Structure 1
Amino acid sequence: MTTMTSLKTIGGLVFAFALFSFAPKEKVILVKVKNNLNKVRSYETVTLTKSFLKVDDLNPLGIRDKKTGKLVVTQLVDVDGDGTMDELLFQPVVSAKTTQEFEVISVTASERPQAPDYCYSRFVPERTDDYTWENNKVAFRVYGPVAQKMIEDKIKGGTLSSGVDAWLKRVEYPIINRWYKKATDKTGSYHEDTGEGLDNFHVGVSRGVGGIAVKVKDQYYYGKNYTAWRTITTGPIRTSFYLKYEDWDANGNKIVESKVISLDLGSHFSKFETSLEGTKKIEAGLTLHEKKGKVTGNKKNGWVSYYEPIGDSEIGTAIVASKKYFCNFETYDTPKPDLSNAYATLKVKNNKVVYYAGFAWKKQGDIKNAQEWQEYLNQFSENINNPLEVSLVK
């Protein structure tokens, strides 16, 4: 005999089943990432945009590895500074010659995987007007208009250079704020290594690690310090920022220059996306310092490198570019201080040139000699010439 309580229970189960049956399913966008190379790919950033995903808002979205079911670390980027997120970044690990699938889904803030913000950059007014950036491997800085004016006005402490400085860090965590603070507080100096690394890389008027020149009739012409900046993003995967330069002269040619520089997690290279008017080619350079090192290059693979002793260690610097931009490389050697550089000659296409500039310090630990550095450069070149292929599953 069926009791009233039993009937209520059965009715409740039927109602719950009906609700479950007609509940809206989770909306999933399936993305394929294909690796065409015969090696595992990691620390390469995949960028998903609203137009690619066919969505109006990236804010509530996360990415789940379809195979493992785990959410991966992501970063949202507002590229143009209008308050709306334009890009969703993640770094997949993709096995050799395979295609991996990822699910773009709605997530709550509490569900998002957390990771340290190793990719960081900022304007530094307490040290004149440096702009400095870093990730978990390397750090760099460039110099602004106040530092330039100090030189022009013959005030001590200025810097007149469009070269790029290298900060030799050997810890994963961010050091920019720590190093500037101890310099400001006079509790230490970032020119001395107390376990985190140091700045003992001289730039002067050289190209440093990736500064540009325009060559006309065997003469190299440079711009000056940046004049305006804008931080675009910092986070666990990427930091990027915009720099503008005052127009400069290259033997009668007016050069109009601006750039977006980005540095991704795990990379020894900053990416320079430079907009230019007034020239069809540029030279991206590497300072030769005291000329105690060796310049090498690979035209086919698109890189030029300088490996040298520095302090009680060694450093390799390099310029790498894809086949679209890389033309050749050369060495300019002169007795004039800081003007000797190794150069990559790069094509400017549609008023734009893209190249990568970076370094590896032996004490940092990833790369221990010149041979390992050249192997890294060839691997890096292979990756940028064969990017991961990203598509939607329809």
Structure 2
Amino acid sequence: MSAESELLEKIRVLSRPVRIMHICGTHERTISRYGLRDVLPAEIEVLSGPGCPVCVTPEEEIDRAIALAESGVIITSFGDMMRVPGSNGSLMDARSRGCDVRMVYSIDDAIAIAKKDPRSKVVFFAIGFETTAPTNAAAILRNPPENFSLLLSHKLTIPAVSELIKEIEVDAFIAPGHVCTIIGVHPFQQFAEQGFPIVAAGFEAVDLLLSIVMILEQMNGSGKYSAENAYPRAVRDEGNVRAQEMMYRVFEITDSQWRGLGTIKGSGLKLNPEFAKYDASVIYADLISEKMKNISYEKSASSLCHCAEILKGKEKPDNCPLFSKKCTPSTPVGSCMVSQEGMCYNWYRYRGADSA
């Protein structure tokens, strides 16, 4: 019997009505790819939370990047970010209009562009959770050229989970393995103490099944919950202390806007004053303000998109009237359909467009 089969048998023995939310785009990809929802007992529901960094980047921050691109600044970012819709198109649309928008694989690629042409102004649109923030901090500590700067959209996981439990019906959490390699498991203990068993998981099917077994064992036990680690081959309880030190040497905590969740207090990062010369939002503040002064963020036709509710685990993609019709991976209306970590993208790819 395979390890997966053994774990599924344990899950069937321990099974009880439970709503488990993961907060990791890679977890969603694994769950969808291997059809884990279809092999779990019907009373175990696995919800997808706001764990895709591309998906939670709000329109306003994309609009800032587009405003800079339209003003002659070279904008660099990861491939998925190019197609995420702002209030009036995406960075890819801006490139089609002649703006200098370039896909890069890392911040080092963006710095190389700046070094190659010192007369250019190069901005790296930096997104992601605690996983990518230390890498960007390390690059800043290496003193990149003065024509290089960061437009930040980093998000912090713990404040988002704190906000989610106020408004969703959920019983337990699967913690994101990538994030836990940086911050460790201990920061999630606060949620266990509030009555939510939580287990950090890796990214193979067997990892996720193990995390569900561990959650059920907690719920069928003494009633005392804890934050547990089902990914010890990569995650330590204290996380990566050196990475944390670099991250908070360069960045400080700030309030942040999340697509679908609104503004969450203390859920983002900004550059410390010492590194303000690399802060694109400071360097180009007047330019951004002028370009964006006439943009309204009131609901538009795209409000038919249910991305906000999907990111909070309140709806499934096939409840959205746009899913697989107007909104597909080749013509995304909402951010959840863009990234390979987005729930709509994975629902479309692995459950079939005709699921709608």
TM-score (norm 2): 0.25
**Higher helix proportion:** 2
TM-score (norm 1): 0.23
Taking CA–CA contacts closer than 8 Å with sequence separation of 6 or more, which of the two structures ends up with the larger relative contact order? 2
Bigger-Rg structure (1/2): 1
**Higher strand proportion:** 1
